[in-house]
Amino acid sequence: MTGGRGDDRGLTVRVKKGKLKASSRAWLERHLNDPYVRRSKADGYRSRAAYKLSEIDDRYKILKRGMRVVDLGAAPGGWTQVAVERCASVTAESRIAAIDYLPVDPIPGATLLLLDFLDESAPQMLLDSLDGAPDIVLSDMAAPTTGHRRTDHLKTMYLCEVAADFAIRVLKPGGHFLTKTFQGGTENELLAMLKRHFTSVHHVKPPASREDSVELYLLAKGFKGRREEVVEDEDVSPLG
């Protein structure tokens, strides 16, 4: 990362009054003046979210060269860019597979699938793209917001649970799972599931995540492997 916060001092973008509501104008001004947004443009990242994954990896060392990586909810591609930078190997074909129902511009070193992860064909397509079990499953998926906080939370928690179930069914032993969640007190079952299947589970709030946001990340490290009862039926799909 080459951007510097010092470059942002003294620069303030103001959005002219017009048809925008005051709340929308305030959000846009905050976004345009966000130092991470400015750094992402300078560093060539497609979103400020790239720094969230970078900061988590700097602390927990979850990305390594040559890993097979799945990126769920990839658009616009910031996390995929970081995964390529830190995991892609010049001696191997692409081992990074990203998926989203929104279009993502090509990223050299990654296979991009234009598909909803909830589509029943998606899990197998991801595995086929990797040609092997992933070392890490990343999920920055979040449901489109409705404006009703409780509803939005429940929808995003459902995506977390689906992503976790996928990870548990496909990860290599020793692999990791990272997912976005929201603070809200309905994640007990998800936490219990992750603690059964991984050596350690961490709540992470990287510096690039806005302080006033309820966004939080769950990092499950050290997958223990699938128990016999989970894999005894060879015809079971990755999502059951």
Q: Which residues are annotated as a binding site for S-adenosyl-L-methionine?
A: 77, 79, 100, 116, 140
Angstrom distance (rounded) from CA 218 to CA 77: 20
The edge-to-edge listing of strands for the beta sheet with 96-100 is 111-114, 96-100, 69-72, 136-139, 176-182, 215-223, 198-204
List the binding residues: 77, 79, 100, 116, 140
Is residue 209 classed as helix, strand or coil in its secondary structure?
Answer: coil
Give residue 21's Cα distance to chain centre. Answer: 30
- Annotated catalytic, 172? no
- Residue 116: which of 85, 159, 63 has the closest Cα? 159
Is residue 80 classed as helix, strand or coil in its secondary structure?
Answer: helix
- 148: tokens are 């009703």
- CA 211 → CA 27, 109, 205, 208, distances in Å? 15, 33, 9, 9
- Among 16, 17, 180, 205, the active-site one is 180
Angstrom distance (rounded) from CA 167 to CA 176: 8
Active-site positions read 180
